[in-house]
Amino acid sequence: MKKTIPPIKPERYRVFFDFDNTITRKDIFDDMLVCFSKDQRWKKLERDWREGKIGSRAALSGQIKGIRINKDRLDSYLSGVKPDPYFKKLIHLFKAKNIKVTVLSDNFDYILKKVLDGNCSGRLKIYSNRLRLSGDRLIPAFPFTDKRCRICAHCKKKNLRRLAGRNSTIVYIGDGRSDICPAGYAHIVFAKEELLEFCRKEKLKHIPYKGLKQVYAYFKKRLA
Ligand SMILES: [Mg+2]
* pTM reported for the whole predicted model: 0.93
pLDDT tens-place string over residues 75-106: 999 999 999 999 999 999 999 999 999 999 99
pLDDT tens-place string over residues 186-223: 999 999 999 999 999 999 999 999 999 999 999 999 98
Predicted local distance difference test score (pLDDT) of residue 5: 53
CA of 8 to the centre of ligand 1 (A): 27
CA of 22 to the centre of ligand 1 (A): 6
CA of 129 to the centre of ligand 1 (A): 14
CA of 122 to the centre of ligand 1 (A): 21
CA of 70 to the centre of ligand 1 (A): 25
**Topology annotation, domain 10-222:** Rossmann fold (3.40.50)
CA of 156 to the centre of ligand 1 (A): 12
Distance, in Å, from the CA atom of 206 to the CA atom of 59, rounded to the nearest integer, reads 29
- The residue ranges of every structural domain in the chain are 10-222
CB-side neighbour CA atoms (13 Å) of 155? 14
The answer to whether the CB of 70 falls within 8 A of the CB of 199 is no
Distance, in Å, from the CA atom of 188 to the CA atom of 172, rounded to the nearest integer, reads 6
- In this structure, the chain runs to a length of 224
